[in-house]
Amino acid sequence: MQAATRPLCTQAMEITYRCGDNDDQVITVPGDAWDHPPAQLVCNGSTIATNHQDVTPPTQGTAAEPACKEIKLEQPESDYFIAPRAMLDWTPTDPHEDLIAGFRPASPATVAMYNSAPSTNITGAPGSTLGANEGRLRQELRDVAKRKDPIHSLCQAAQRFTRNQPAALDVPSDQELGNAFADLSVTGKAAFEKFKQLHPNEESLRGKPECAGASAEAVRKALTRAYGVANALRGLHSSPQRKTLGWIAVSGEDDQPYHPVNAPATSFPQFEIRVVVPRPNIAVNTRYMIAHARNAPALQRPATPLVNGGPGYQVPADPLPALAPDAQVILFIHGMDSRLEEAEDLTAALHRLGGKNWTVISVDLPTSGYADNIDHQRVSPVSAVRCHNTPLVDFIEDFIIAFVDTLDTQLHGQLKPKVRAVVGGSLGGNMAMRLGRRPNTPWITAVVPWSPAAIWPSYIGQRHAVAAGCDTPWNGLNDKAVNQSLDWSGLDEKYLPRPDERPSFRRELFYGGFDWAPVGGLGGPPQAQCWFSDNYKCKQPSIRAARMDRQETYDPNFRAWHWRLGAEQLAFSQQLFAPGTQEPLYLKNNKRMLLLTGYEDTCAKLGEYTRDVASRMVNTPGYARFLKQTGHSLDNEHPTWVAQQIVDFLH
């Protein structure tokens, strides 16, 4: 401990002290000591307000923090299966521009730019150069996918295999198109549901008029491809079976996939689940993973196949979920637009620590990853968004509760008693904070939010804010930020999600999320660049990979949900007054919390607001740590350190 002052006793004093392995802290003792209470050097206060410290975490690539695993995006080593050039749509589209906000997408990619390497410095490459419209498939494939009819897809495949014409300039061969049409019978949710019901085989296809004239060999080839793809998508992304198939056709824009197809998937067991959110009674089909550190139970598989088209044409039933008796469950909530694989860095770090059987359960949230993409108007009209009314944010919180309720029922009450913490960052951090004060959830005993979205003051205010019931005074720039996003979600009706949306909307979404640097008072880097600090060596590959992830699952519902959820997270705030009170919501957080943020999480001043709110969380048991040289996704930048903090906190 060090103290410094000036000669006269009435002068203020600065005291520098250190708590354990944390960084130096500074406390100021005001002058005229007789007018102030004694100074307190607090290290282990019982609340976040009295226990928050700065920390310098270990550097990645050291013994204390292994180097990040860089995602490979260039052929032939790519972790993604890349669509052949001729399978993509190269039709230029003309996006809208907003010159005041600096919204001006670049010219669309050309055939000569196909699959450009990141080293070319083309913004967003390689993803931005997969066709002229961010991975959109050519029209023949989309026309088949839109029908969501596996019999039609299989017969189209058989007809192409029978005709067997070679490739022409930027036109795939019939063998390539035959494979792609067969793929579309099983890669989309709607088509595969019908596939399961119809369990097609050679005999059933021979009687279909659409297959008339196709050779028996071609029919067998179409079926073999389709069943092979359906089975491979339920296995490991790195398996020989999956690698042999190469690129698999999927048009999420027309028939959304249910599992990763060409994007890498978790190596842990995946399961599908149907979750009904009571308010407003919407069913969400999604997937989740259960990742045990050890003692993973042998999974039981029902004897009846999921699809039984006879010998050679079967898809085994999916395994049933199970938890080890000693599982210590960490429920991981991913960030906005992300997917369950976001949990993998933290999961690996927890597993490396040993000790207890830390078991991570991560789920695709609604309209994220491979969960159902929902028309946000089913939740509420977009016009309903107000300072104290954010229906999508509420819906996601309710979904998490319904997911746990549903899975706990499937596991015969074994899940809730094993949940040790709910953790997550960004949107996941927002949810963790909200769940930390949600009533009637005794199974939630601890939460670990980091970089929590909506910890900033609400961006929504009105010129007569108090009279309108808002807690935040009106601010023109904040108003523009919220209402621009609401317009793009459908407050301006031309942006409402429709199957026949304007062709340029797809490219506008990717530009807006990954490339757009707003101007006109809303200045800052593109939103994706805010995800990591520049100290993170895997920053740019991770951002490029996220772009390709979303290309696989994009549809009009995803686009509109993205803009509306972004607006609602600006509108909602942990600092809003609790209903009927003049106290901020964070004062209602009464469950144990470990709160984390990075000093370099500067977009929307998120790190700064987190530190400020932490100093006022007098009712929340736990503590906060503020990481130097760290950005928004601190679980990716320092997964081993974060894992150890979580384990220490839960012990």
pLDDT at 221: 98
Q: Is residue 85 part of a domain?
A: no
Query: Which among 250, 280, 310 is the end of a domain?
Result: 250
Q: Is the peptide bond before 166 cis (omega within 30 degrees of 0)?
A: no
Q: Is the peptide bond before 209 cis (omega within 30 degrees of 0)?
A: no
Q: Are residues 575 and 628 in the same domain?
A: yes
Q: Indicate the range of 118-122, 173-177, 486-490, 587-591 predicted with least confidence.
A: 118-122
The 10s digit of each residue's pLDDT in 80-109 is 999 999 999 999 998 888 766 788 999 999
pLDDT (average), residues 451-469:
74
Q: Is residue 464 part of a domain?
A: yes
pLDDT at 6 > cutoff 60: no
Q: Is 107 exposed, middle or buried (0-12, 13-18, 19+ CB in 10 A)?
A: exposed
pLDDT at 464: 46
pLDDT at 562: 98
pLDDT at 437: 98
Of 222, 216, 101, residue with least CA distance to 511 = 101
Using DSSP, state whether 226 is helix, strand or coil.
helix
pLDDT at 420 > cutoff 90: yes
Q: Are residues 148 and 293 in the same domain?
A: no
Who's near 245: CB < 8 A, 6+ residues apart?
A: 225, 228, 229, 232
User: Residue 366 corresponds to which tokens in the numbers above?
Assistant: 């609604």
Q: Is residue 538 part of a domain?
A: yes
DSSP assigned state of 488: I
| Contact between 147 and 183 (Cβ < 8 Å) | no
pLDDT at 253 > cutoff 80: yes
Q: How many separate domains does the chain show?
A: 3
pLDDT at 466: 44
pLDDT at 95: 86
pLDDT at 465: 45
Q: Is residue 449 part of a domain?
A: yes
pLDDT at 34: 62
Angle between helices 639-650 and 344-353 (to 10 degrees): 60
Computed over every residue of the chain, the mean pLDDT equals 93
How far does CA 620 lie from the centroid of its chain?
27
| Contact between 517 and 524 (Cβ < 8 Å) | yes
Q: Indicate the range of 14-18, 195-199, 445-449 predicted with least confidence.
A: 14-18
492/488 Cα distance (integer angstroms) = 7
pLDDT (average), residues 24-49:
73
Who's near 9: CB < 8 A, 6+ residues apart?
A: 33
pLDDT (average), residues 505-523:
86
pLDDT at 294 > cutoff 90: yes
The Cβ-side half-sphere exposure at 271, using a 13 Å CA radius, reads: 23
Q: Are residues 583 and 623 in the same domain?
A: yes
Position with higher pLDDT, 195 vs 33: 195
Q: Is residue 93 part of a domain?
A: no
Q: Are residues 329 and 224 in the same domain?
A: no
pLDDT (average), residues 176-189:
98
Q: Are residues 303 and 199 in the same domain?
A: no
The full DSSP string for 135-177 is: TPBPHHHHHHHHHT-HHHHHHHHHHHHHH-PPPBTTB--HHHH
Position with higher pLDDT, 518 vs 238: 238
pLDDT at 279: 87
pLDDT at 15: 73
Q: Are residues 432 and 474 in the same domain?
A: yes
403/399 Cα distance (integer angstroms) = 6
Of 205, 153, 212, residue with least CA distance to 177 = 153
Q: Is residue 430 part of a domain?
A: yes
Q: Indicate the range of 309-323, 452-466, 523-537, 591-605 predicted with least confidence.
A: 452-466
pLDDT (average), residues 321-346:
98
Of 400, 401, 408, residue with least CA distance to 371 = 400
Query: Which among 197, 215, 250 is the end of a domain?
Result: 250
Hey, which residues does 621 pair with through a beta bridge? 47
175/181 Cα distance (integer angstroms) = 10
User: Residue 231 corresponds to which tokens in the numbers above?
Assistant: 């089975």
User: Residue 105 corresponds to which tokens in the numbers above?
Assistant: 């997408």
430/456 Cα distance (integer angstroms) = 11
User: Residue 552 corresponds to which tokens in the numbers above?
Assistant: 């696989």
How far does CA 294 lie from the centroid of its chain?
26
| Contact between 191 and 256 (Cβ < 8 Å) | no
pLDDT at 341 > cutoff 80: yes
DSSP alpha helix (H) spans, 502-619: 505-510, 539-553, 556-571, 606-614
Count of CB atoms within 10 A of residue 353's CB?
Answer: 14
Using DSSP, state whether 568 is helix, strand or coil.
helix
Question: Residue 3: which pLDDT band, with cuts at 50, 70 and 90?
Answer: low
Of 62, 24, 21, 63, residue with least CA distance to 535 = 62
Q: Are residues 217 and 317 in the same domain?
A: no
Question: Residue 520: which pLDDT band, with cuts at 50, 70 and 90?
Answer: low
Distances (CA, A) of 594 to 147, 167, 298, 314, 517: 49, 58, 34, 48, 33
pLDDT at 507 > cutoff 80: yes
Domain that includes residue 26, residue range: 2-43
pLDDT at 467: 41
Q: Are residues 421 and 543 in the same domain?
A: yes
Q: Are residues 197 and 276 in the same domain?
A: no
pLDDT at 488 > cutoff 60: yes
User: Residue 420 corresponds to which tokens in the numbers above?
Assistant: 């040790």
Q: Indicate the range of 40-44, 329-333, 422-426, 530-534 predicted with least confidence.
A: 40-44
Of 18, 69, 68, residue with least CA distance to 41 = 18
Distances (CA, A) of 354 to 50, 223, 359, 640, 644: 31, 45, 11, 12, 10
The pTM score is: 0.94
pLDDT at 24: 60
Can you give the CATH number for the domain in which 373 is found?
A: 3.40.50.1820
Position with higher pLDDT, 564 vs 18: 564
Question: Residue 514: which pLDDT band, with cuts at 50, 70 and 90?
Answer: very high
Q: Is residue 119 part of a domain?
A: no
Task: Report the share of the chain in percent with pLDDT over 90.
Answer: 84
Q: Are residues 179 and 299 in the same domain?
A: no
Count, residues in the chain: 651
Q: Indicate the range of 80-94, 187-201, 474-488 predicted with least confidence.
A: 474-488
Q: Is residue 118 part of a domain?
A: no
| Contact between 195 and 138 (Cβ < 8 Å) | no
Sign (positive or negative) of CA dihedral 270, 545, 537, 115 = positive
Using DSSP, state whether 309 is helix, strand or coil.
coil
Distances (CA, A) of 378 to 9, 156, 462, 498: 67, 35, 27, 13
The 10s digit of each residue's pLDDT in 28-39 is 777 766 677 766
Q: Are residues 246 and 276 in the same domain?
A: no
298/147 Cα distance (integer angstroms) = 39
pLDDT at 21: 57
509/487 Cα distance (integer angstroms) = 13
| Contact between 632 and 593 (Cβ < 8 Å) | no
Distances (CA, A) of 117 to 120, 123, 124, 129, 285: 6, 10, 10, 9, 36
Q: Are residues 365 and 287 in the same domain?
A: yes
pLDDT at 8 > cutoff 60: no
